[in-house]
Structure 1
Amino acid sequence: MFLLYDLVLLASSLVLIPWYLLRKARYGTARRGLRERVGLFAPGKLAATQKRPVIWVHAVSVGETRAAIPLLKALRQAYPDACLLVSNTTETGNSVARSLAEVDLCLFFPFDLSIVVRRVLKQINPSLVVFVDTELWPNFARLAGQRGIPLVLANGRISDRSFPRYRAIRLVLRPVLANFSAFCMQSEQDAERIKVMGAPSERVQVAGNLKFDLQAHLPNAGEVKSLKERFHLSPEALVWVAGSTHAGEEEQVLDAYQRLVAEGRNLLLLLVPRHPERCRQVSELLSQRKLPFALRSHVDERQAPLQAGEVLLVDSIGEMLKFYAMADLVFVGGSLVPVGGHNVLEGVLLKKPVLYGPHMHNFRDIAKLLGKAGAALEVADGKALQQAIAQLIDNPEQRHSLGKAGYQLIAGNVGATAKTLSVIESLLAERVAKG
């Protein structure tokens, strides 16, 4: 099975490598970290891993990296002398990881070819590896198991979409899952699903969602004013942040925004596409609609602040909490189109009224909790989004009550970090005892 898997990966590389070269020739850019992905590191790159125990945390992209922050903080406190290594698959995730003070080394996750994984594990020799969310790499799991490296699945989640596919190949997954020492799942349903997939039931536990353990400073009025000045936003206008939006969603958000402004609402939009590389496409959309806008990367060049009816188009990463801190209203994207939603807890964490669309299957449990607690609003489509925003603009008390209810919900669901850390500590202690 693993030989066949390697052959499939090798065949796919015959397509991927020419694509990387074409991208570089056409756009002058190539995918960052390509050498690291094949296990070739710059001289001195792995110096931090020498003569220190290495705890390796893998987070695919931005969302998983942010979810891992509470765990990384806890690991740093529990193991101050260890090397905390974070790997990512995407470039945006890598950029977020490099901004975290707790992290000693950031790398791109290796291609899952046996020869590559074997070389990387030999060079890094981690004491333990944590996969955030549901990341299953057959060769990595197999070869780490052969070396006696404990593998932990943290914040584990099996989505409604992926579960039928996983269940169909459970005979293939069972030997992969057998290499994991522990599965810390978000919910009872996720725990049952991974058992059906072949995970040893005695290694599965419900630890909760790490995202509930995120912490953020609640800015006071003076700090919000300073932030608005920094980003050249009108101090009088209400700020609506539409975060993590996708194609087909920006159109609905802009329709709602233009109608609200036409009604005389004193509203300013911060539009944050999920993938910054789409900002060129979104800027063309704004130009077609004759909506005045400024790019985040060029906003410092402005003399006058952005006013109601204008748009700040965000082409940066790692600043979402700052934007939510300035927000009076938050819409979280990936939910008006069938993407599955994105993390709604960051806005809730800052006591903001949060809205999202009907497609939240990747965050079904969180959305259910928020709805039950009256801590967020679900809207059916772009027209309903406009109506909900108008209602919240006219009812500041409702904005306040939504934000307060959400904050209380988070406070009542913390604890996943402590449970996951306990599992990690036990595995590391067991490995030390075995020598």
Structure 2
Amino acid sequence: MYLLYDLLVSLTLLLLAPGYLVLGWLRRKPRQGLAQRLGCFPADHFAALRGRPVIWIHAVSVGETRAAVPLIRHLRQRWPRAALVLSSVTETGHQIAGGIAEVDARLYFPVDSGLVIRRVLDRVQPDLVLIVETELWPQFIRQCHLRRIPLALVNGRISDRSFPRYHAVRRLLRPLLSQIACFCMQSAIDAERIARLGAPAERILTTGNLKFDPAGACLPDQDDAALRVQFGLAPQVRVLVAGSTHEGEEEAVLSAFRQLRQRGHELLLILVPRHPHRCRALADLLDKNGLPWRLRSAAPAEPLGAGAVLLVDSIGEMLHFYALAELVFVGGSLVPVGGHNLLEAALLQKAALHGPHMHNFREIAAWIGQAQGFGLVQDVADLTAQLDHLLRDPERCRRSGTQAWQLLQRHAGASARTLEALQPLLQRRGIDS
């Protein structure tokens, strides 16, 4: 079975590689990490790991990487001698990993073929592997198991969308799951689902959601005035942030923004697309709408004021933008993407709105909505109406943001519970605090 799997992976790689390279050329930016994905690294890439126990954390992209930060910081505190390696699949996830001080080495996750995985494991030599959320790569899991390297799923979740697909192939998943030493799941529902897929019941724990742990947040150390100078914004202008937006949502946000301006709100928009490479198309959209705008990466000539848009072509600064916001809209939710993290806004005590497509964060959206007393918007008209109402009631905005923050505090602690679950695995490898 694994030989057939390797053949399919190799064939897929051969078929996709030309498109992968052409896409990089069309974007005028070469695709990053190809050599690492094939298991090739400079001789000194893992020099910081020598002579130390190694914990390898794998987080596929930006959301999983940010979710892993509180756990990474707790790992560093509990096992200071251990070297921490963080891998990502996406370029944006890799960039975020580069900003986490506790990480000793980062890499692009290797292609899941036996030859490549063995080569990378020879270089990294991990004592423990942690997979964030649900990244079930068969050869990676198998090769770790063959080497008796304990592997744990942390912050595990099985979404509404993925569960039917996993359930359809549960007979194939069962032997794979049997090779995982521990399942630290976000919720009781996630724990039940992983058990139904064939995970051994005695290895399943409900540890909570790492995203509730504020220890993972790199909170802005500048005050409001300093952040406005940094981003080139006028001193007193009120700020609306639309974060992690996707294609089809920016039109709705801009429509709402124009209507709010017509209703007399002196408002500036910070528009943060989920994928920064879309900024070129969004610049054309802003021009079409007749809105003055500036890229985040451009040197500010003069401060942007009411009616203008700061178009963000950087990553890793979301909390800084939320710190300036009077109100937040979280994208991926007016279109059927599944939503994005509402907890970042809660951490900054900001009121947040979102659309109806929040199936990836259904439980969190429900909790935040109950704490704030609002949150869900159905369409552009609803978004405009709720923004208009809240902008006219700043005290309610502040109170709702505080209530969301208090909710976050009540649900914190997933990192500590996860560490307790991992400690026996590390002790088995002879690693003490």
Q: TM-score, normalised by structure 2?
A: 0.97
For 2:303, give the aligned amino acid: P
Give the structure 2 partner of residue 343 of structure 1. 341
C-alpha deviation, 1:22, in angstroms = 2.1
Name stretches of at least 5 consecutive residues in structure 2 with no aligned partner: none
Q: 2:359 aligns with which of 361, 386, 389?
A: 361
For 1:29, give the aligned amino acid: K
Give the structure 2 partner of residue 382 of structure 1. 380
Give the structure 2 partner of residue 90 of structure 1. 90
Task: Give deviations 1:56-82, integer Å, cap 9, x for gaps.
Answer: 001111111111110000011111111
Distance 1:43 1:336 in 2: 47
Q: 1:375 to 1:214 in 2, by over 3 A?
A: farther
Between 1:119-128 and 1:210-219, the stretch displaced more is 210-219
SS at match of 1:202: helix
SS at match of 2:265: coil
**What is the aligned residue count?**
430
C-alpha deviation, 1:361, in angstroms = 0.2
Distance 1:276 1:112 in 2: 27
8 Å CA contact 1:291, 1:311 repeated in 2:
yes
Distance 1:117 1:79 in 2: 26
Give the structure 1 partner of residue 130 of structure 2. 130
8 Å CA contact 2:58, 2:86 repeated in 1:
yes
8 Å CA contact 1:20, 1:30 repeated in 2:
no
Q: 1:364 to 1:19 in 2, by over 3 A?
A: same
Give the structure 1 partner of residue 140 of structure 2. 140
For 2:2, give the aligned amino acid: F
Distance 2:428 2:144 in 1: 16
Q: 1:219 to 1:105 in 2, by over 3 A?
A: closer
Task: Give deviations 1:102-145, integer Å, cap 9, x for gaps.
Answer: 11111000010111001111121100000111110000001100
SS at match of 1:432: coil
Between 1:364-373 and 1:51-60, the stretch displaced more is 364-373
Between 1:272-281 and 1:225-234, the stretch displaced more is 225-234
For 2:68, give the aligned amino acid: A
Task: Give deviations 1:186-243, integer Å, cap 9, x for gaps.
Answer: 00000000011111111001000000002457779x8111111211112222100000
SS at match of 1:383: helix
Between 1:369-378 and 1:35-44, the stretch displaced more is 369-378
SS at match of 2:40: coil
Q: 1:327 aligns with which of 321, 325, 329?
A: 325
Distance 1:171 1:154 in 2: 23
Distance 1:212 1:69 in 2: 11
8 Å CA contact 1:67, 1:214 repeated in 2:
no
SS at match of 1:337: coil
For 2:364, give the aligned amino acid: I
Q: Map of 1:209-248 to 2, 5 A cutoff? A: 209-215=209-215, 216=217, 223-248=223-248
Q: 1:406 aligns with which of 393, 401, 404?
A: 404
User: Identity, % of aligned pairs?
Assistant: 53
Give the structure 2 partner of residue 273 of structure 1. 273
Task: Give deviations 1:339-362, integer Å, cap 9, x for gaps.
Answer: 000011001111001111110000
SS at match of 1:270: strand
8 Å CA contact 2:219, 2:320 repeated in 1:
no
Distance 1:313 1:169 in 2: 43
C-alpha deviation, 1:23, in angstroms = 3.1
Q: Map of 1:33-432 to 2, 5 A cutoff? A: 33-215=33-215, 216=217, 223-298=223-298, 300-302=299-301, 304-374=302-372, 376-432=374-430
SS at match of 1:377: coil
For 2:15, give the aligned amino acid: V
C-alpha deviation, 1:28, in angstroms = 4.0
Name stretches of at least 5 consecutive residues in structure 1 with no aligned partner: none
Distance 2:35 2:374 in 1: 44
CA RMSD, 1 decimal: 1.4
Distance 1:406 1:284 in 2: 36
C-alpha deviation, 1:423, in angstroms = 1.4
SS at match of 2:429: helix
Distance 1:26 1:210 in 2: 37
Distance 1:178 1:430 in 2: 18
Q: TM-score, normalised by structure 1?
A: 0.96
For 1:32, give the aligned amino acid: Q
Task: Give deviations 1:380-435, integer Å, cap 9, x for gaps.
Answer: 111111111101110011101110110110110011000111112111102229xx
C-alpha deviation, 1:30, in angstroms = 2.3
SS at match of 1:22: helix
8 Å CA contact 1:234, 1:307 repeated in 2:
yes
SS at match of 2:310: strand
Q: 1:27 to 1:219 in 2, by over 3 A?
A: closer
8 Å CA contact 1:295, 1:313 repeated in 2:
yes
8 Å CA contact 1:353, 1:375 repeated in 2:
no
8 Å CA contact 2:21, 2:31 repeated in 1:
no
Between 1:328-337 and 1:423-432, the stretch displaced more is 423-432
Distance 1:376 1:296 in 2: 30
For 1:247, give the aligned amino acid: E
Distance 1:17 1:161 in 2: 28
Distance 1:161 1:430 in 2: 36
C-alpha deviation, 1:373, in angstroms = 2.2
SS at match of 1:136: coil
Distance 2:120 2:310 in 1: 42
SS at match of 1:323: helix
SS at match of 1:154: strand
Distance 2:104 2:72 in 1: 11
C-alpha deviation, 1:375, in angstroms = 5.7
